[in-house]
Amino acid sequence: MIHRPASSRRHFLQQSGLLLGAASVAGLPSFPASATAAVLPAPGMPAPSFVHTNGIQLALYQQGEGVPIVFCHGFPELAYSWRNQIGAFAAAGYKAIVPDQRGYGLSDRPSEINDYAAVNLVDDLAGLLDALEIDKAVFCGHDWGGGIAWMMPRYHPDRVLGVIGVNTPAFHPQHPRKPNDLIIRSDRYYTLTFQPPGVAEAVLEKDVRRTFEFFLRRGGMWNVDRFRAYPEDSPVRRLDLLTLVAQGNFEGELILQPNELEYFVRTFEATGFTGGLNWYRAAAAGTARTDLVWDIDVPCLYIGAEHDVVLPPSSADGMENYIADFERHTVADCGHWTQQEQPAEFNRVALDWLDRKFPAS
């Protein structure tokens, strides 16, 4: 582990109330007062611990020693989305740190949309490192977690060893992406229908099992070739996810075993989806700091998936223009949920890169 000595930054965080310490628990936890008692620890993972950071309490799972890797999940996911990584990375000589992020699972779920602005999401992770007395870490993020992982070296460059972005590329205001020609934009595009408070919740929470049976799939409409074959005015090509969930479009196959599906369902039945949806709402309402340096000067790896219809591998084109040490890899025969769909291949690629850039001690 890379330990962080007492420093002016730590003193500042303590004085400002952003760092309140860490609390570990053995076995089943004594749940924080703000957590829903019905939310259980993730099965098959180490017992969770809780840290106070940036004014909230985060639950996290830890395993291993060595160079720290912070795994950041996306929507609608949990720390449990990294269940196939935590043990493998620990066994390879790394310290795996896997939080339920703000708004999810066992972690706190603040009520205000602005609580989910990017500055709060990155500050959560910087404060997590302080609570664990870690100076720097590699940040590995998928989907929304990838977006936050790419923002860490921009907001907190002195806390980042490297970045692994999974499906989500690093965006840059001076380097616009090519449009995704698979998706026909309309007012029914999912990020737009997620904006009005309560609207998406009414659909997603009506039958949480059906919601996850729709989302966490591979093949069918989640295959690029099949997706392209749909009519341009269809809910599929418009990525009108709320309509598709309501219709119960279950093409393809689940990527989850029955017990894995059960954990996602039970957790979101207890927490609802508002916390995760507020990430979208805050992103639409807010703006990034104007003083950010957007070029990234730490080693970075982008892992894309051949059949991701939302974030195709081509969305990473041009990242080498603003990341000096940049590598990329595309996982074949894989859709959006890369580390869950193809865990062995994901682990192989990520650990090979880590072994070359940050060899386990």
Please report which confidence band the pLDDT of residue 307 belongs to, taking 50, 70 and 90 as the band edges.
very high
> What are 199-215's pLDDT values in tens digits?
999 999 999 999 999 99
Question: Does 18 map to a domain?
Answer: yes
What pLDDT sits at residue 209?
97
Instruction: Assess whether 195 and 167 both reside in one domain.
Output: no
The catalytic position among 100, 108, 143, 308 is 143
- Counting the structural domains of the chain, the total is 2
Residue-averaged pLDDT of the chain: 90
Mean pLDDT confidence for 107-132: 97
Question: Does 139 map to a domain?
Answer: yes
Question: Does 94 map to a domain?
Answer: yes
> What are 330-339's pLDDT values in tens digits?
999 999 999 9
Give the domain-ending residue among 252, 284, 316. Answer: 284
Percent of the chain with pLDDT over 90: 85
User: Is residue 227 within 8 Å of residue 221, measured between CB atoms?
Assistant: yes
Which residue range(s) make up the domain with 21? 8-178+289-357
What pLDDT sits at residue 7?
37
Instruction: Assess whether 133 and 204 both reside in one domain.
Output: no
Give the domain-ending residue among 236, 252, 284. Answer: 284
User: What does the radius of gyration of the chain's CA atoms come to, in whole angstroms?
Assistant: 19
Please report which confidence band the pLDDT of residue 166 belongs to, taking 50, 70 and 90 as the band edges.
very high
Instruction: Assess whether 43 and 162 both reside in one domain.
Output: yes
Instruction: Assess whether 111 and 12 both reside in one domain.
Output: yes
| 94-100 and 137-142 strand pairing | unpaired
280 catalytic residue (yes or no) = yes
Mean pLDDT confidence for 129-144: 98
The catalytic position among 280, 302, 308, 322 is 280
Residue 97's domain is classified under what CATH number? 3.40.50.1820
* Contacts of 273 by beta carbon, 8 Å cutoff, 6+ apart: 76, 200, 201, 204, 205
Please report which confidence band the pLDDT of residue 345 belongs to, taking 50, 70 and 90 as the band edges.
very high
Helical spans, DSSP H, in the chain: 8-16, 83-91, 118-131, 144-155, 190-193, 199-204, 208-215, 224-229, 241-247, 258-271, 274-285, 338-341, 343-357
> What are 268-296's pLDDT values in tens digits?
999 999 999 999 999 998 766 778 999 99
Instruction: Assess whether 135 and 232 both reside in one domain.
Output: no
pTM: 0.90
What pLDDT sits at residue 287?
65
